[in-house]
Amino acid sequence: MNLPVSSNPVTQRVHWDLNYDIHLGATWGRFMAGLRQKQILANRCPDCGRTFVPPQPYCEACFVPTGEWVELGQEGTVEAFTVAWQSFRGGPQPPYAIAAVRLDGADTLLMHYVQGLDLSDPNAVREQLPAGSRVRAIWSPERLGQILDIAHFEKI
């Protein structure tokens, strides 16, 4: 064999295309059912009293099952955010903003999109969501019991 080494194939493409059905369980099932009704449901730890959204079946800090359910308001404060200028295969069309929102009455943060911002200048995005920015959930007209039933948040 006298093939030049440079002609050896170096890689070969492998492809995965698999669907999965993830069981939501009682806690996230109830949360998703709430979203269909335009309700943001949270639950509380009976020991430390923290309020979780998305809700949790147990408290990771206290190691006890969560109990009481509460409906939160649909407004909150942006605690941190990023504007994605690049996405990935199968991801949203950039640019888009993703924020960690502290809903009023919640002790955890809810991650979600924030729309209605002017993202034309990469150097000016901080002014679009200054510290303490208030946002409100905007509902998708067609709700299927999934996190994107909240289409996105918008600045108030």
Partner 1 sequence: MPRPAFIAGAGITAATSPRKQTSSATELVQEAVWKALEHANASADSLDGLVIGNIDGFEGTVLGAKHLVRGLGLSPDLPVTVLNTGGTTGGNLMQVAARQVRAGDRERVLCIGGPTFYGAEDLQAAINTNSPMVVEQPLGMGAYHMGAFYPSAYQELYGTTVEDFAVSAVQDHAHAARNPLAHLRNELTIEDVVQSRPLSSPMTMAMVCPVSTSANALLITSEAGAVSTRPTPVLIRAMGTSSDPYLGGGKSDFAFMENLAILARRVYAQAGITDPRAQFDVVEVFSPYAPMQPMQLEALGFAAPGTGIELIRSGATRIDGEVPVNLSGGPLCTNAGVAGELAPCVYVALQLMGDAPPDIQVDGARLGLAHGTGGSFFQFENLAVLERHDRS
Told to check if 79 binds partner 1 by CB under 8 A, we report yes
Which ranges of 19-140 does DSSP label H, i.e. alpha helix?
25-36, 125-128
**Sign of the C-alpha dihedral computed for residues 87, 112, 149 and 23 taken in this order:** positive
80 touches partner 1 (CB under 8 A):
yes
User: What type of residue sits at position 7?
Assistant: S
Pick from 36, 58, 70, 98 the residue near partner 1 by CB under 8 A. Answer: 98
Q: Which of 51, 141, 67 is nearest to 102 (CA)?
A: 51
Number of Cβ within 10 Å of residue 117's Cβ equals 19
Judged by CB under 8 A, the residue of 131, 141, 142, 156 near partner 1 is: 131
Q: Which one of 41, 44, 51, 112 is in contact with partner 1 (CB under 8 A)?
A: 112
| Shortest distance in whole angstroms from residue 33 CB to partner 1 | 14
Report the DSSP beta bridge partners of residue 52: 43
> Residues touching partner 1: how many (CB under 8 A)?
42
> Taking CB under 8 A as the rule, does residue 45 contact partner 1?
no
Single-letter amino acid, residue 81: F
Q: Are 101 and 78 in contact (CB under 8 A)?
A: yes
User: What residue ranges bind partner 1 (CB under 8 A)?
Assistant: 8, 10-11, 13-14, 16, 22, 24, 28, 53-54, 60, 79-92, 96, 98, 100, 108-113, 122, 125-126, 131, 146-148
